[in-house]
Amino acid sequence: MIRLGEVRKVLSANDLGLTGSHQAGIAIPKDRNILSFFPPLDSMEYNPDCILTVATPQTGHLWDLRFVYYNSKLHGQGTRNEYRLTGTTRMLRELSASVGDLIRFRRSQFGDIDVTVQERYGPILSPPTERILSNGWRMTISDPED
């Protein structure tokens, strides 16, 4: 079941394509609650993916992102076992995102997702309902599993 709410992450240089790598996407942690925010992908498939159309209200555009589970390790050959969200480079550039800023994915009751970038100058302000994960991701979800 897909959950409502929002997840946030501090943007790294790699997330913004500033490191010289070809930016293979923002890594999504394999946390049940965060994964439940994104569409389910079938682990039985090899590298399953889906297109995630998101809105950026700050610039008034729609973007087709790709949510992919690189899972070659689960299928015999390979070393990958991680989720990624790709196709974000242009969107983040249009939003003038910088290293250290927060990217926020918010899912409304209608199921659509919007993405905003929150500039950061000092400490991260966190509402009391937000849970901070050890990996630096943050989430506010109505009915977390644990």
Partner DNA sequence: AGCCATGCACCG
Partner DNA sequence: CGGTGCATGGCT
Write out the residues near DNA by the rule CB under 7 A.
10, 12-15, 17, 19-27, 29-31, 47, 49, 66, 68, 70, 72, 78-82, 86-90, 93, 133, 135-137
Q: How far is the CB of 133 from DNA (least distance, A)?
A: 7
Q: How far is the CB of 57 from DNA (least distance, A)?
A: 20
Nearer of residues 3 and 138 to DNA, judged by Cβ: 138
* DSSP sequence for 11-74: PPTTTTT-SSS----EEEP--HHHHTTSPP--TTSSS-EEEEEEEETTTTEEEEEEEEEE-GGG
Nearer of residues 49 and 130 to DNA, judged by Cβ: 49
Q: How far is the CB of 111 from DNA (least distance, A)?
A: 22
Judge whether 37 and 52 are in contact, CB under 8 Å: no
Nearer of residues 80 and 126 to DNA, judged by Cβ: 80
Contacting residues for 27 by C-beta, under 8 A, at least 6 apart: 82, 83, 84
Judge whether 38 and 49 are in contact, CB under 8 Å: no
d(CA 114, CA 37): 12
Q: How far is the CB of 66 from DNA (least distance, A)?
A: 4
Nearer of residues 24 and 108 to DNA, judged by Cβ: 24
